[in-house]
Structure 1
Amino acid sequence: MLDDRSKLLMKALVEHYIADGQPVGSRTLSKASGLELSPATIRNVMSDLEELGLIASPHTSAGRIPTARGYRLFVDTMLTVQPGSYGAHSLTPDQPQKVISNAANLLSNLSQFVGVVIAPRRTSVFRHIEFMRLSERRLLVIIVSPDGDVQNRIIFTEVDYTPAQLSEASNFLNTHYLGLDMQDVRQRLQGELESLRSEIGTLMQAAVNVSSEAISETQDEVVISGERNLLSVSDFSSDMGHLRRAFELFEQKTQLMRLMDVAGQAEGVRIFIGGESQVVPFEDLSIV
């Protein structure tokens, strides 16, 4: 348990390091904290904080920097968040792509770091399905998702369907299965095959299979904004290898998806410091 003086110095050290990016010495901390303490007294407190694992001394400097444990203490007990005013930012829902892009830009501008937004996963539900004959035993399946996205797939059939049969199949699917998940459609259709003409039932089964594949193939969309802000962070600008690895993470996006899956298991705001996310590539970063 820290006393009030140690808390004030710890808070001042973290805030100064976040703002400046350089190890903080006792003289600098004396000015930043506003406490009338001698550098010697401050050095003693810093020594105690170091023994507790809250700060550390880089090999190249006499100053101190926060450790992951120190950052966690700061976030949990010392950080005060002022409510922001976001009235100037309009995120209208009529254009999903623009909303996602604007949200990423907003996060980046507010934090002055990198903003990442992942679009919600699409469910395998269709709003409309239609068949178009391309040639003998070759059909185009047109699938419209609830958000208006259109997917086209070509299927090959053992039967040369007439336009009337294609219309009958699409009308049946649109009437009976609109808004249902493809897995539910497949199960219900299996039970109703006996009441359908065999060739029509076979066509609809093929359509449901290809529709489910088309929708599930659509990957989660990841929008990233503000990567260039990393150039102003001393830890990155002074270590090109570190900077390169960060850019590779954002480019591949796979690890970002893993991180979002972990964060999605908790309610509200989640803050990962260092290796807390257990996603190894992010163990040198803090993520909100």
Structure 2
Amino acid sequence: MTIALQFGAMLDPRAKTLLKTLIERYIAEGQPVGSRTLSKYSGLELSPATIRNVMSDLEESGLIVSPHTSAGRIPTPRAYRLFVDTMLVAQPPTDDAQVESTVRTQLRPGEPNKLVAAAASVLSNLSQFAGVVLTPRRSHIFKQIEFMRLSEKRILLVIVTPEGDVQNRIMATQKEYSPSQLSEASNYINANYANLSFSEVRKRLRAELEALRGDMTHLMHVMQEAVVASTEETSDLGEAVLISGERNLLEVADLSSDMDRLRKLFNVFDQKTSLLQLLEVSSHAQGVQIFIGGESNLVPIEQMSVVTSSYEVDGQVVGTLGVIGPTRMAYQRVIQIVDITAKLLSQALSQR
């Protein structure tokens, strides 16, 4: 049982209702919530004294705090965790349809890199926070290869991955090859090596070069070198993180009111290491994941939350996307945005 669920089991229905109301009002208004507001919005017939007693108990439990000298209270990261794990209700279908229509308009099937960039942008625009996408892992497998003659001794090698990513290499050769010879070489490689990893292709090429006709041997050696370069580039690049709308967070008082906090926030964007770790963790989980500041080293700022979901190509997880914002975010709506965007990006990437 998680800590959030343990706390939820300890709270009586009255305390849960007041805590839920307090969080919802704080998310909506951004101001510490007092007993009068709770009395008005909770729907409970409780005296101000009873509400204050319950709030005192919640404060002792570490679920709410009183900022400065304010009479009101605000939720802690622990309270947000309890809220998202046990108190959220599903959005109405009409809201889902509106978000889906907006996202679908932006994510039409096309070039993978452009689709991923569009996903980061739509996440940012809909949430008004920062959208982040861990780009598809570059495949170590090729689907198709083609040789194209550029000049007498220069050839363009085109490598197409199963994800639809296209990589180009210019190859220098010691002799001239005719278009028909290049076509024959392409057909041979596609027939014998397609859907194998680059490392497996290298092993088989080394073993089979001697069996090839002499006029193709040099071309295959050059092909082998190009495959090595592709493998090394894939390893060096690793995963890339695209971020859109990070400047939106400058408008969020919870994050921008403290210069040290702001510096930490933009260090997260500049270095990207912690984001990569967080998104990589998310890619191994099912459905939407919510990381709330202060819970783990993956979210280095207590006032920051990250809502993520993995996305797929042909049923295989290839990356993660999400929204970065303040802990005081409308989780219900952000979860909806992230979930729908992940599903529609998966559809668009799989329709090649």
Structure-1-length-normalised TM-score: 0.83
Deviations 1:35-78 (A, max 9, x none): 33232221110111112121122334332221122111111111
Deviations 1:134-162 (A, max 9, x none): 798xx55523323252322556x8xx334
Out of 229, 232, 238, which is 2:251 matched to? 232
Counterpart check, 1:185 vs 2:204: no
Out of 153, 168, 188, which is 1:151 matched to? 168
Q: Would the aligned equivalents of 2:193 and 2:201 in 1 still touch at CA under 8 Å?
A: yes
Aligned in 2, Cα 1:244/1:81: closer, same or farther, shift over 3 Å? farther
Out of 221, 224, 236, which is 1:202 matched to? 221
Aligned to 2:283: 264
For residues 227 and 120 of structure 2, the distance between their equivalents in structure 1, rounded to whole angstroms, comes to 35
Count residues with an aligned counterpart: 283
Out of 147, 171, 175, which is 1:130 matched to? 147
Q: Would the aligned equivalents of 1:169 and 1:204 in 2 still touch at CA under 8 Å?
A: no
CA apart distance, 1:270: 0.9
Q: Would the aligned equivalents of 1:273 and 1:286 in 2 still touch at CA under 8 Å?
A: yes
For residues 219 and 151 of structure 1, the distance between their equivalents in structure 2, rounded to whole angstroms, comes to 18
Q: Would the aligned equivalents of 1:140 and 1:154 in 2 still touch at CA under 8 Å?
A: yes
The correspondence of residues 242-261 of structure 1 with structure 2, limited to 5 A, is 242-261=261-280
Aligned to 2:341: none
Aligned in 2, Cα 1:152/1:11: closer, same or farther, shift over 3 Å? same
Structure 2: state its 5+ residue gaps: 1-9, 308-352
Aligned in 2, Cα 1:226/1:30: closer, same or farther, shift over 3 Å? farther
SS in 1 for 2:300: helix
Q: Would the aligned equivalents of 1:186 and 1:205 in 2 still touch at CA under 8 Å?
A: yes
Aligned in 2, Cα 1:205/1:275: closer, same or farther, shift over 3 Å? same
CA apart distance, 1:119: 2.6
Counterpart check, 1:113 vs 2:129: yes
Q: Would the aligned equivalents of 1:25 and 1:64 in 2 still touch at CA under 8 Å?
A: yes
Counterpart check, 1:26 vs 2:35: yes
Q: Would the aligned equivalents of 1:9 and 1:33 in 2 still touch at CA under 8 Å?
A: yes
RMSD value over aligned CA atoms?
Answer: 3.0
CA apart distance, 1:20: 2.1
For residues 161 and 133 of structure 1, the distance between their equivalents in structure 2, rounded to whole angstroms, comes to 13
Aligned to 1:49: 58
Counterpart check, 1:66 vs 2:75: yes
Aligned to 2:337: none
Counterpart check, 1:142 vs 2:151: no
Aligned to 2:312: none
Out of 85, 97, 101, which is 1:87 matched to? 101
Out of 177, 192, 195, which is 1:163 matched to? 177
Structure 1: state its 5+ residue gaps: none
Out of 186, 192, 198, which is 1:176 matched to? 192
Structure-2-length-normalised TM-score: 0.69
Give the percent of matched residue pairs that are identical in Structure 1 and Structure 2: 53
